Amino acid sequence: MKRQFTPMLLVAITALAISFTACKSKPKDADIKVAVETALAADPMAAGMTVSVEKGVATLSGECKDELCKASCEKIAKGVKGVESIINNCTIAAPPPPPPVATTDATVLEQGLMDALKDQAGLKGSLVNGKIVLTGEIAKAKWVMVKQMLDKLKSAGYDLTGLKIK
């Protein structure tokens, strides 16, 4: 009799212990939600996301600016205690309009360069790999005007090592 009693008691104690810890370590969904929100708010990139939690499953929604932001939100939420899994419903914002690209049309660029330099006798201009190369001398006041004009041409930049400002 005595030999049978000990294992039974052990099983009972273990079961009790398991049910206790299980209860204690499982935070409420509402608490998890607050914790995830706090964690997300701390990161400027992830701020502004909406979170809902059900049985430890956190659902993220809202608009992220890019994939990186979406992944980062998920990572932050995953790190919060009590979160068992994530449903990442974040959407990615439409990309901003592409910036104007440097013109590849050399004739347009060449014509623009010719037009801008027409009245500047002291300046010589040419194009090398889409860059405007200027040589010669010019007064400061005129140079500001010429540079403003040339900057409208969407070149790839300048080589002005041969240019002198009087």
Give which of 42, 45, 133 is closest to 79, Cα–Cα. 42
Binding of residue 72 to other proteins (CB under 8 A): no
Q: For residue 100, how many other CB atoms are within 10 A of its CB?
A: 7
Instruction: Supply 114's token pair.
Output: 């010719």
Q: How far is the CB of 162 from other proteins (least distance, A)?
A: 10
102-161 binders of other proteins (CB under 8 A): 102, 111-112, 114-116, 118, 131, 140, 143-145, 147-149, 151-152, 154-160
Q: How far is the CB of 157 from other proteins (least distance, A)?
A: 4
Judged by beta carbon, residue 68 or residue 139, the one nearer other proteins is: 139
How many chain residues bind other proteins (CB under 8 A)?
28
Q: For residue 118, how many other CB atoms are within 10 A of its CB?
A: 8
Instruction: Supply 74's token pair.
Output: 């998920």
Q: How far is the CB of 103 from other proteins (least distance, A)?
A: 11
Judged by beta carbon, residue 84 or residue 151, the one nearer other proteins is: 151
- The structure tokens 């060449």 sit at 110
Give which of 30, 87, 91 is closest to 60, Cα–Cα. 87
Q: Which helix (H) or strand (E) holds 51?
A: strand 50-54
Instruction: Supply 73's token pair.
Output: 């939100």
Residues that bind other proteins (CB under 8 A): 99-100, 102, 111-112, 114-116, 118, 131, 140, 143-145, 147-149, 151-152, 154-160, 163, 165
